[in-house]
Amino acid sequence: MNTYVTDFPSRRGRRLRSNPWIRNLVAENHVTINDLIWPVFVREGTNTTEPVPELPGINRYSIDTLVEQVIKVSDLGIRCIAVFPCTPSNLKNETCEEAWNSGNLVNKTTQAIKRKIPEMGVMLDVALDPYNSLGHDGLVRNGQVLNDETLEALRKQALVQADSGADILGPSDMMDGRVKVIREALEKNSYQNTLILSYSAKFASSFYGPFRSAIGSSGNLVGDKKTYQLDYRNSEEALRDVAADIKEGADMVMVKPGMPYLDLCRQIKEKFKIPTFAYQVSGEYAMIASGIEKGFFDKNQVIIESISCFKRAGCDGVLTYFAPELAKILNST
């Protein structure tokens, strides 16, 4: 049914765009600070801030320095961060034991943050790539990424992360059945309230390159991840994976990358009515940040527009490296 029952000049669409107050009054979507999760990178050391060359304005922080940064963004109103480790190469191997070391970088970071800012939500990825000398998200044997053997490693990793105080676990590995294994382990070990934000629609994408450099895994990857991450040509396959993760116990689901996959965000939200997130990944950030540096984009306008597109597509929240800058923009309006 056509909802527009009048024609020009009785209907003039521009009347609702004529000035800022009316545009704000009839806006269909609004970005708030509560929509933001800030991804951060942690490294070994003390009192250290190390720029990531591939990500303008983004740094790797030692734990003490990262805690200081988290206090600052908490003051801006950001209430959730996602921590990713730059694991030293000597702690990486093909068996990935560092992933379930209770004293590894992300677990120590989580504990440090919870001591200083207990109200800050902390999300940790459940995947083996930061600890795998071959760069893959799962265990590898004879060139094959193993599914069922990897599930046991992910179960152990999830439990030490929950024990460290992580509020949200993000299975990003794309192994079949991993949400079920993690949820059952959490239930059996009295972590019933630990949330799972599953990377349910994670695609084999060219947009991840700067992230892999940031965590120190870009030179390690042998082959590619196309045997477990989704084919970017497929949407029905992505919907099947989302449905499976929800059935296995995911509380929330994610689309990754973000802006090139807004159609999936809309489909998932409309079909499943579940909290739906997207990750504005490193490649997306790098393109926008580079455009800002070169003067191609107005910084404030392009940042808020890019995140508003996620909201328009149905996302409840966004992981974005722009979170602190966007929070400053929102606080000033």
pLDDT at 125: 97
**Segments in 117-197 forming alpha helices (H):** 148-164, 178-188
**Segments in the chain forming alpha helices (H):** 20-26, 63-76, 105-116, 148-164, 178-188, 209-214, 236-248, 262-272, 282-293, 299-312, 323-332
Mean pLDDT calculated for residue range 191-216: 93
Q: Letter for the amino acid at 217?
A: S
Q: What is the pLDDT of residues 135-160, one digit of tens each?
A: 999 999 999 999 999 999 999 999 99
Higher-confidence residue of 9 and 173: namely: 173
CATH class for the domain made up of 30-332: alpha beta
**Closest Cα to residue 192, out of 202, 201, 205, 182?**
182
pLDDT at 10: 84
Please state the pTM of the whole predicted model. Answer: 0.95
Mean pLDDT calculated for residue range 236-257: 98
The backbone torsions φ and ψ at residue 192, rounded to the nearest 5 degrees and listed phi first, read: -60, -25
- Ordered by start, the domain boundaries in the chain are 30-332
Distance (Å) of CA 243 to CA 47, 200, 316: 44, 9, 18
Q: What is the pLDDT of residues 48-101, one digit of tens each?
A: 999 999 999 999 999 999 999 999 999 999 999 999 999 999 999 999 999 999
Residue 53, preceding peptide bond in cis (omega within 30° of 0): no
- Kindly list the catalytic residues: 202, 256
Question: How high does pLDDT run on average in the chain?
Answer: 95
Mean pLDDT calculated for residue range 237-246: 98
pLDDT band at 4 (very low <50, low <70, confident <90, very high): low
pLDDT at 9: 87
Pairing of strands 59-62, 49-51: antiparallel
